[in-house]
A and B are shown apart, each in its own frame.
Chain A
């Protein structure tokens, strides 16, 4: 197995074009698990951890741009945590400190698991994923980017370089249910915001369908919204929980999130 370590984004895109089989690796919190469990033996890894352009975040008017290499630890820090409170809360639920220091938002998008903790907060913020290749750049809304369980819209030779998301303009929260009080993959999760300008409720659930799902409603249709979120999910029974429990919990979480955001 080759490990390719580009120093710049241009070099990374060139290497990815030359070696489309190379698996991008940033923090390694997903890729290394696959390797350690013998589930994957890629011919090459494209180690992005030296590419400075992927790091950090910036603000342009009401939009926050997150570099693909933004770690969960960084997402929990002020002032970013103020701009994207649900993402900060979601980041706090990820693994332990060591994992949060390594794991990245870009990696979460790349893995595209329905249990990705960063994904519901991105969905409620109308996030758009920035992709780049030697052919150029394109921007794909996160809902279109996530095409299935562990499947995304990355084309050959493309890398995730960042994600643009609307800064919160109303209260937000994130909640995650797991049978253990820390370091757990979500059984079900929910990000919710009440957007005061549009007077809209936006909720996104994780681990309750093949991809994370978004449910919105005008604030006027508050009644029955928890049931709508629950009904929008298409959960399955698996080793982490039952479909019935996931539907039930989504309703409870939505009620509580609304209470938090509307108080």
Chain B
């Protein structure tokens, strides 16, 4: 069960280094969390609600308990400690108590010797539901009966919004929100529910120790925050719950919330045996939160010279049944609603509501994706209204250091928005390919639907930005530990950091940083676990490279100082062992009434990207081929350039998915397409080559000037692709994913 210490690829900060996990993943040798095994282990299974909203009258487990080889059948009555948990508010029951609030909500868990026995035992649990009317329309949610008791958000320092089912409301008043200008453009924009669609389903293994504690091996994004949510629900002390990172098959925000952790641990502690849980694909679609669907009303007022004067936006986010990270998503969606543009007046209202739809939370781009889709559609519209080139219009308004966000936060540090716009716009676009062509190089692809009939070419452009690191006063620090040991003929080094490798390449970042700071090639990285080192914070918010590099740099420098004190050498087996915690600069909450910053400011730093897209659209069938993507991205400093390009391509593909095909469809709160047959993600025939330029303008506060890279491509690519589709079709296309119906004019 323990993962062997990872040995190291050579390479230092700024060099392209082959990913440590690359070959094992490609060859199938890498152990994912679904591959775990322990002698004598049982298999866990979850019984889930078939209703979006219902009262639980009774749960009868008597038939299931008596089944052969079934070792545990547990309900809310068996939760040893706190009944609820959550990232921001503890509003989510470990197992449903007297009410289910979404389709797929866990109601009971079973452990048996074979997964099929566990599944069959779960079928024998009799739950008497009394269906309730589901709240499914976010626009009506604030007028319907509350789906949570009391005021779940009271006491968090948020704006007082007494309407039922409000998770959080932010109102940002900036300058004179009634300011008039020479022209005005407006629109209403909608985004469907996108899923993270990671390929490795939720899975893990819980192993009871002999002293009442438990070790949990799980694919997650933040080991220590899992522990801090799991331990109270198990009624254990934090050090009795040890979380170890198991191989992560993709995350994208979808592993910030708990999935199997408490359930597997409850079963293991009850049965006194290791318990493994693996969701199947269908279950995975209800087993994690999704990207918030949104409706955005936006008006831009500008002068004839293109200068933005006032932006007025109203944003409605559907948070689904539980809060998850909705409050922070609400802050991001509102903070970035005006785009990376300087505007002196603004009124932004953003509300996230509870509904009985699938719960939503963190996903790559985190609120900025939704806003970017709206503000960039608006910029294209404004450019057309003014007769100004869309790139030029964006340059004239580009936010720069010294300018302020609508929250009043002054931009300090690096913010090369104009530079990314210029660099992306300067990339040469490919010439149209000649006909006839292989159908694979036409819209419709392998479907063989056109030889060129109906095909029109369009070019789109967009700019997007978001924050790096957590915001609003959250101190998401990262710890790292460095041990130097004398070998007799030199030194060897071991590094511990609980940063979650979720496929983004942070393992290489840690090693490259350690090699650079220690000036040593032989560095070993220990397994990520809560038992050997302090919290790393989350592999989220494009923060992990910055924070892990900062922590490893601090610890490595401290180790070198100690080494110098000892004369620069260690005797054989003599060790230096130091742990250091790195903090980004402090932030402060937004004023709940005005939405203006208090103190140091709500965000730490920003990352931006610009993207140009060439697309071909079959306007008669509504099918699309994205031909080419060129982008320039503000990365601060590329620690591992090869991995940075990989993040840009992957992030772009995820945004392409939202633009063209990815949507969880619901009917009265029930998910209608919980499979990869009907929830489509892009294939290699949908995703074009990406030409990426890295803009390396160092962030003054950050180690080596790094920023983050994971999210900007996703923020900007949805907007840029739909911009190209609008250019090709002449249609508004105000909703993503864009459906063929929208392109051919049937919707």
* Complex contacts, B740 vs chain A, CB 8 Å: 177, 179, 187, 241, 245, 249
Tell me if B683 and A183 are in contact (CB < 8 A): yes
Check if B91 is an interface residue, CB within 8 A of chain A: no
CB of B677, distance to nearest CB on chain A (Å): 6
* Complex contacts, A129 vs chain B, CB 8 Å: none
Contact with A along B616-635 (1 / 0, CB 8 A): 00001111010000000000
Tell me if A178 and B280 are in contact (CB < 8 A): no
Tell me if B622 and A245 are in contact (CB < 8 A): yes
Tell me if B280 and A177 are in contact (CB < 8 A): no
CB of A192, distance to nearest CB on chain B (Å): 12
Partner of B445, one of A181, A187, A248: A181
Contact with B along A145-181 (1 / 0, CB 8 A): 0000000000000000000000000000111111111
Check if A184 is an interface residue, CB within 8 A of chain B: yes
Tell me if B744 and A92 are in contact (CB < 8 A): no
Q: Give the contacts of B665-685 with A (CB-CB under 8 A).
A: 665, 672-673, 675, 677-678, 680, 682-685
Check if B454 is an interface residue, CB within 8 A of chain A: yes
Check if A252 is an interface residue, CB within 8 A of chain B: yes
Partner of B677, one of A38, A89, A185, A249: A185
Check if A244 is an interface residue, CB within 8 A of chain B: yes
Tell me if B683 and A175 are in contact (CB < 8 A): no
Check if A98 is an interface residue, CB within 8 A of chain B: no
Tell me if A245 and B746 are in contact (CB < 8 A): yes
Tell me if B741 and A174 are in contact (CB < 8 A): no
* Complex contacts, A178 vs chain B, CB 8 Å: 447
* Complex contacts, A249 vs chain B, CB 8 Å: 621, 740
Most buried by B among A92, A183, A240: A183
CB of A98, distance to nearest CB on chain B (Å): 13
Given contacts A180-B661, A181-B685, A181-B686, contact A36 B280 (CB under 8 A): yes
A-B contact count (CB 8 A): 105
Check if A239 is an interface residue, CB within 8 A of chain B: yes
Partner of A259, one of B447, B453, B678: B453
Q: Give the contacts of B322-365 with A (CB-CB under 8 A).
A: none
Partner of A180, one of B622, B675, B682: B682
Contact with A along B730-747 (1 / 0, CB 8 A): 000000000111001011
* Complex contacts, B447 vs chain A, CB 8 Å: 93, 175-178, 181, 184, 186
Check if A260 is an interface residue, CB within 8 A of chain B: yes
Q: Give the contacts of A237-257 with B (CB-CB under 8 A).
A: 239-242, 244-245, 248-249, 252-253, 256
- Of all chain B residues, which has the CB nearest A178? B447
Tell me if A239 and B672 are in contact (CB < 8 A): yes
CB of B603, distance to nearest CB on chain A (Å): 36
Tell me if A179 and B744 are in contact (CB < 8 A): no
Given contacts A93-B447, A256-B453, contact A239 B623 (CB under 8 A): no
* Complex contacts, B443 vs chain A, CB 8 Å: 181
Chain A contact surface mostly: mixed
Roughly how many angstroms separate A182 CA and B119 CA in the complex, as a whole number? Answer: 34
Check if B446 is an interface residue, CB within 8 A of chain A: yes
Tell me if B683 and A182 are in contact (CB < 8 A): yes
Roughly how many angstroms separate A242 CA and B620 CA in the complex, as a whole number? Answer: 15
Roughly how many angstroms separate A173 CA and B449 CA in the complex, as a whole number? Answer: 10
Chain A interface category by residue count: 35 or more
Tell me if B675 and A177 are in contact (CB < 8 A): no
Tell me if A256 and B445 are in contact (CB < 8 A): no
Tell me if B448 and A92 are in contact (CB < 8 A): yes
* Complex contacts, A93 vs chain B, CB 8 Å: 446-448
CB of A111, distance to nearest CB on chain B (Å): 13
Tell me if B741 and A177 are in contact (CB < 8 A): no
- Of all chain B residues, which has the CB nearest A242? B741
Partner of B451, one of A37, A183, A248, A260: A260
Partner of A182, one of B454, B665, B685: B685
Contact with A along B674-705 (1 / 0, CB 8 A): 01011010111110000000000000000000
Check if B16 is an interface residue, CB within 8 A of chain A: no
Roughly how many angstroms separate A252 CA and B619 CA in the complex, as a whole number? Answer: 11
Roughly how many angstroms separate A239 CA and B677 CA in the complex, as a whole number? Answer: 11
CB of B50, distance to nearest CB on chain A (Å): 14
- Of all chain A residues, which has the CB nearest B663? A239
Check if B282 is an interface residue, CB within 8 A of chain A: yes
Check if B450 is an interface residue, CB within 8 A of chain A: yes
CB of A135, distance to nearest CB on chain B (Å): 36
CB of B551, distance to nearest CB on chain A (Å): 41
Contact with B along A91-132 (1 / 0, CB 8 A): 011000000000000000000000000000000000000000
Roughly how many angstroms separate A174 CA and B449 CA in the complex, as a whole number? Answer: 8
Tell me if A181 and B446 are in contact (CB < 8 A): yes
Roughly how many angstroms separate A173 CA and B448 CA in the complex, as a whole number? Answer: 9
CB of A185, distance to nearest CB on chain B (Å): 6
Given contacts A184-B680, A259-B453, contact A239 B673 (CB under 8 A): yes
Roughly how many angstroms separate A178 CA and B682 CA in the complex, as a whole number? Answer: 12
Check if B444 is an interface residue, CB within 8 A of chain A: yes
Most buried by A among B449, B623, B744, B747: B449
Check if B660 is an interface residue, CB within 8 A of chain A: yes
* Complex contacts, A183 vs chain B, CB 8 Å: 446, 683
Roughly how many angstroms separate A175 CA and B680 CA in the complex, as a whole number? Answer: 20
Given contacts A239-B678, A252-B454, A252-B621, contact A181 B448 (CB under 8 A): no
* Complex contacts, B620 vs chain A, CB 8 Å: 252
* Complex contacts, A176 vs chain B, CB 8 Å: 446-449
Roughly how many angstroms separate A186 CA and B678 CA in the complex, as a whole number? Answer: 11
* Complex contacts, A245 vs chain B, CB 8 Å: 622, 739-741, 744, 746
* Complex contacts, A248 vs chain B, CB 8 Å: 744, 746
Contact with A along B713-742 (1 / 0, CB 8 A): 000000000000000000000000001110
* Complex contacts, A173 vs chain B, CB 8 Å: 448
Roughly how many angstroms separate A115 CA and B502 CA in the complex, as a whole number? Answer: 37
CB of A54, distance to nearest CB on chain B (Å): 26
Tell me if B280 and A37 are in contact (CB < 8 A): yes
Roughly how many angstroms separate A128 CA and B445 CA in the complex, as a whole number? Answer: 31
- Of all chain A residues, which has the CB nearest B661? A179
CB of A34, distance to nearest CB on chain B (Å): 12
Tell me if A37 and B282 are in contact (CB < 8 A): yes
- Of all chain B residues, which has the CB nearest A247? B746
CB of B47, distance to nearest CB on chain A (Å): 13
- Of all chain B residues, which has the CB nearest A244? B746
* Complex contacts, B746 vs chain A, CB 8 Å: 242, 244-245, 248
Roughly how many angstroms separate A260 CA and B280 CA in the complex, as a whole number? Answer: 44
Tell me if B445 and A179 are in contact (CB < 8 A): no
CB of B282, distance to nearest CB on chain A (Å): 6
CB of B464, distance to nearest CB on chain A (Å): 24
CB of A244, distance to nearest CB on chain B (Å): 5
Roughly how many angstroms separate A211 CA and B487 CA in the complex, as a whole number? Answer: 75
Given contacts A37-B282, A245-B744, A245-B746, contact A182 B686 (CB under 8 A): yes
Tell me if B680 and A256 are in contact (CB < 8 A): no
CB of B14, distance to nearest CB on chain A (Å): 37
CB of A143, distance to nearest CB on chain B (Å): 24
- Of all chain B residues, which has the CB nearest A96? B683
Roughly how many angstroms separate A242 CA and B660 CA in the complex, as a whole number? Answer: 16
* Complex contacts, A181 vs chain B, CB 8 Å: 440, 443-447, 623, 625, 683, 685-686
- Of all chain A residues, which has the CB nearest B687? A181
Partner of B621, one of A92, A177, A180: A177
Q: List 19 A-B contacts (CB under 8 A).
A: A37-B281, A37-B675, A89-B448, A92-B446, A93-B446, A177-B449, A177-B621, A180-B685, A181-B444, A181-B685, A182-B445, A187-B740, A239-B673, A239-B678, A240-B678, A245-B622, A245-B740, A248-B744, A259-B453
User: Which A residues are within 8 Å of any B CB, using their own CB?
Assistant: 33, 36-38, 89, 92-93, 173-187, 239-242, 244-245, 248-249, 252-253, 256, 259-260
Contacts A37-B675, A181-B623, A242-B747 supplied; 20 other A-B pairs, CB < 8 Å: A36-B280, A36-B281, A37-B280, A38-B280, A92-B446, A175-B447, A175-B449, A176-B447, A177-B449, A179-B660, A180-B682, A181-B443, A181-B686, A182-B686, A184-B680, A239-B672, A239-B673, A241-B740, A245-B746, A259-B453
Those 3 A-B pairs whose CB atoms lie nearest each other, nearest first: A181-B445, A181-B685, A176-B447
